[in-house]
């Protein structure tokens, strides 16, 4: 068995099979079970190492070639694959509760397979093409059949498409920089091209205007999956660039540009989030602010950069799953999710309300929740580098907390004689309950993530030095 077949081809083909062969009832369990199994295999069975089970021996080979391009996983990729497919399993198990299981799970499996392929492909610049293919599939997830795409979805695919030529051209120019490091003109041009490409991929200010529009136009669960999947793989793609090209990570101007971009996204995302009166747009700006935190970490000149980045990446998947699922449940009763429409819903959907607020507070870095350890680690590293930057990060996080309490105030604003009800199904209650427990576990016991963090230096060898 080859690792690319197991973690790329198998989920992609399974997604197609679910689309044509399975109905709504079983697709969530099949997709969730498959991704959970792939996560466990990645966690416990090493790649490219022979294993003996009784009289049988087998080995998961590391590479395969397709049309002259190599897809390769090493033993160091195991924890990363376990993280990706473990979080994907949570999304797929929760899809039935959101009411969008069939198309979501089938397309979601294919999207995860393409994004995973972007990690394995060599030459690694072809990852830009795979990211573009995944973005095209996401459009079908965001837009129901026979519905015209909204402005947000159109802007999303346009910006993602603009990113691809910038990334590809910059990669071609970076090869010339490696051959002739003294060519200052080529170095500057390649840096500019690379910056433009990642500006579109990360949706850096002001290119993130499509995100709030998508959260208004599209199903919250599908939009939340987009806000989890693409930024996570874009961060891994960016780490690959920094690891391969020493001049990128050692150039102060590039690090400062990334740091300033992260500050702008975090601060503006938090401030705009505090001013919103629509639950979907609040989720959008909170995700924007959290993506800004990733950029802040990438711009740090510190030896523990990898630990800080992945300490934030792992909780993001759980936070957005809980938040998007709770939002999907509330949206069934209160469309279009404005504050005037959700007043008093805490008494009708108490589980969804509590879960939504806790997920929001976790993104804001509230103590004892999953987002708190990464925010503290980032804040400490940022304070040692720039006090001004740490202040602006605080402004962004404070804005997110204001938005959380405004949301809670709107949800609990009800007549005194209104009765408490429990309208969530048992599946919705169970999924939200498991998610909330996970938020507290990751917040109070962040050492749970240590097995993932200790193997990161082997994944990005130069960044770990």
Among 107, 122, 137, residue at a domain's last position? 122
Which pLDDT belongs to residue 113?
Answer: 92
Residue 29 has which token pair?
């369990």
Say if residues 120 and 73 touch (Cβ distance below 8 Å). Answer: yes
Asked, for residue 464, whether it belongs to a domain, the answer is no
pLDDT for res 52: 64
Domain that holds residue 11: 1-122
Same domain, 161 and 20: no
Q: How many domains does the chain have?
A: 2
70 part of a folded domain? yes
Residue 184 forms part of a structural domain: yes
Same domain (yes/no): 66, 133:
no
Report the alpha-carbon distance of residue 173 to residue 119 in Å, rounded: 21
Cα separations (Å) of 3 from 21, 229, 294, 337?
A: 26, 21, 29, 43
pTM comes to 0.91
Sequence-distant (≥ 6) Cβ neighbours of residue 426 within 8 angstroms? none
Q: Are strands 56-58 and 51-53 parallel, antiparallel or unpaired?
A: antiparallel
Q: Is residue 324 in a domain?
A: yes
Nearest partner of 41 among 28, 57, 59, 64, judged by Cα: 59
- Identify the domain boundary among 122, 138, 153: 122
Domain end (from 68, 95, 122): 122
Assess whether 203 and 298 both reside in one domain: yes
Tens digits of pLDDT across the chain (465 residues): 688 888 888 999 998 888 887 766 788 888 899 999 999 988 888 777 766 666 666 677 777 777 777 888 887 788 888 889 999 999 998 888 877 766 888 899 999 999 998 888 877 777 888 888 899 999 888 887 777 888 889 999 999 898 888 888 877 776 666 556 555 666 677 777 888 888 888 888 888 889 999 998 888 999 999 999 999 888 888 888 887 777 777 777 788 888 899 999 999 999 999 999 999 999 999 999 999 999 998 888 777 788 888 888 889 989 999 999 999 999 887 778 888 888 888 888 899 999 999 999 999 999 999 999 989 989 888 888 888 888 999 999 999 999 999 999 999 887 777 788 888 888 889 999 999 999 999 999 988 888 777 777 677 776 656
Q: What is the pLDDT at residue 175?
A: 63
| C-alpha to C-alpha distance for 284 and 212, rounded to whole angstroms | 5
- Residue 319's pLDDT is what? 92
With H, G, I as helix, E, B as strand and everything else as coil, classify residue 2.
Answer: strand
Residue 465 falls inside a structural domain: no
In this structure, are 205 and 346 located in the same domain? yes
Alpha carbon distance 120, 126 (integer Å): 10
Residue 122: phi, psi to the nearest 5?
-135, 130
- Residues 295, 343 within the same domain: yes
- Name the CA dihedral angle for 256, 258, 261, 266, rounded to a multiple of 10 degrees: -110
pLDDT given for residue 333 in this prediction:
79
Please indicate, yes or no, whether residues 55 and 151 belong to a single structural domain of this protein. no
Residues 6+ apart with CB under 8 A from 325: 94, 97, 98, 221, 224, 352, 355, 428, 431, 432, 435
Q: Mark whether 323 and 397 lie in a shared domain.
A: yes
Give per-residue burial for 308-327: e unless 16+ CB within 10 Å, then b.
bbbbbbbbbbbbbbbbbbbb
**284, 214 Cβ separation under 8 angstroms:** yes
Residue 54 and residue 150 in one domain: no
Whether 111 and 238 share a structural domain: no
Name, in order, each residue with C-beta under 8 angstroms of 186's C-beta and a sequence gap of 6 or more: 173, 176, 177, 180
pLDDT for position 292: 92
At residue 148, the 3 state secondary structure works out as coil
Whether 101 and 129 share a structural domain: no
DSSP state, residue 349: -
Cα radius of gyration (the chain): 22
Q: What is the per-residue pLDDT for 398?
A: 94
């Amino acid at each position: 068995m080859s690792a690319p077949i197991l973690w790329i081809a198998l989920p992609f083909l399974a997604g197609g099979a679910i689309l044509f062969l399975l109905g709504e009832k079983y697709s969530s369990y099949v997709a969730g079970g498959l991704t959970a199994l792939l996560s466990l295999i990645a966690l416990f069975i090493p790649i490219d190492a022979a294993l003996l089970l009784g009289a049988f021996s087998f080995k998961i080979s590391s590479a395969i070639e397709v049309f002259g391009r190599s897809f390769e996983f090493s033993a160091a990729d195991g924890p990363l694959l376990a993280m990706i497919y473990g979080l994907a399993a949570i999304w797929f198990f929760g899809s039935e509760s959101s009411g969008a299981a069939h198309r979501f799970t089938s397309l979601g499996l294919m999207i995860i397979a393409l994004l995973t392929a972007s990690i394995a492909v060599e030459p690694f610049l072809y990852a830009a093409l795979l990211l573009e293919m995944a973005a095209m599939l996401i459009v079908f997830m965001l837009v129901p059949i026979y519905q015209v795409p909204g402005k947000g979805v159109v802007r999303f695919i346009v910006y993602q498409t603009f990113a691809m030529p910038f990334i590809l051209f910059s990669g071609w120019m970076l090869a010339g920089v490696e051959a002739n490091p003294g060519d200052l003109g080529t170095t500057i041009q390649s840096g500019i091209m690379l910056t433009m490409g990642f500006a579109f991929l990360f949706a850096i200010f002001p290119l993130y205007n499509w995100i709030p529009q998508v959260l208004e136009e599209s199903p919250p669960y599908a939009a939340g999956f987009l806000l989890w999947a693409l930024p996570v793989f874009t961060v891994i793609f960016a780490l690959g660039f920094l690891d391969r090209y020493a001049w990128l990570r050692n150039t102060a101007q590039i690090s400062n540009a990334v740091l300033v971009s992260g500050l702008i996204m975090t601060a503006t995302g938090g401030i705009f989030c505090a001013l919103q009166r629509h639950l979907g747009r609040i989720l959008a700006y909170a995700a924007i602010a959290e993506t800004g935190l990733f950029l802040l970490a990438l711009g740090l000149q510190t030896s523990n950069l990898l630990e800080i980045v992945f300490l934030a990446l792992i909780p993001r998947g759980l936070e957005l799953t809980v938040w998007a699922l709770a939002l999907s449940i509330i949206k069934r009763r209160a469309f279009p999710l404005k504050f005037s429409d959700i007043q008093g819903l805490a008494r009708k959907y108490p589980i969804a309300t509590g879960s939504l607020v806790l997920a929001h507070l976790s993104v804001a870095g509230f103590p004892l929740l999953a987002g708190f350890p990464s925010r503290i680690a980032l804040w400490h590293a940022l304070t040692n580098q720039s006090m001004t930057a740490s202040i602006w990060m605080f402004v962004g996080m404070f804005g997110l907390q204001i938005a959380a309490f405004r949301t809670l105030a709107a949800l609990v604003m009800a007549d005194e004689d209104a009765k408490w009800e429990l309208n969530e199904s048992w599946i919705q209650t169970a999924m939200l309950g498991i998610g909330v427990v996970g938020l507290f576990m990751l917040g109070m016991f962040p050492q749970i993530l240590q097995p993932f963090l200790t193997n990161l230096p082997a994944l990005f060898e130069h960044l770990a030095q």
